[in-house]
């Protein structure tokens, strides 16, 4: 499971047919309270936006979040984090 903050979106003129209608969002990963790399994640909630803290799953489990079809996705946003504080 990954955590991160949505920082933008991706506009694709051509997508794999089973990704039509699925938002692709740019997420800055957060590890140990520090911002890290950015990845593109498919939004299975279809509600995430810029500034939202989210948690994601990766690998083949990411594609399983879309119950009616199986898109080619390495990461999928599966939920929101209401409040994010890193206390070490």
**pLDDT tens, the chain, 88 aa long:** 889 999 999 998 888 887 888 899 999 999 888 899 999 999 888 899 999 999 999 887 777 777 666 677 789 999 999 887 766 5
pTM across the whole model: 0.84
Which residue ranges make up each domain of the chain? 2-80
> Closest Cα partner for 65 from 84, 49, 41?
41
Indicate the SS3 state at residue 54.
Answer: strand
What is the number of alpha carbons within 13 Å of residue 2 lying toward its C-beta?
24
What is the topology classification, in CATH, of domain 2-80?
Answer: OB fold (Dihydrolipoamide Acetyltransferase, E2P) (2.40.50)
């Amino acid at each position: 499971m990954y955590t991160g903050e949505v920082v933008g979106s991706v506009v694709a003129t051509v997508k794999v047919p089973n990704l039509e209608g699925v938002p692709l969002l740019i997420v800055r990963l957060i590890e140990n309270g520090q911002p890290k790399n950015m990845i593109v994640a498919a939004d299975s909630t279809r509600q995430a936006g810029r500034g939202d803290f989210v948690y994601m799953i990766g690998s083949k489990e990411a594609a399983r979040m879309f119950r009616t079809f199986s898109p080619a996705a390495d990461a999928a946003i599966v939920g929101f984090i209401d409040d994010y504080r890193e206390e070490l």
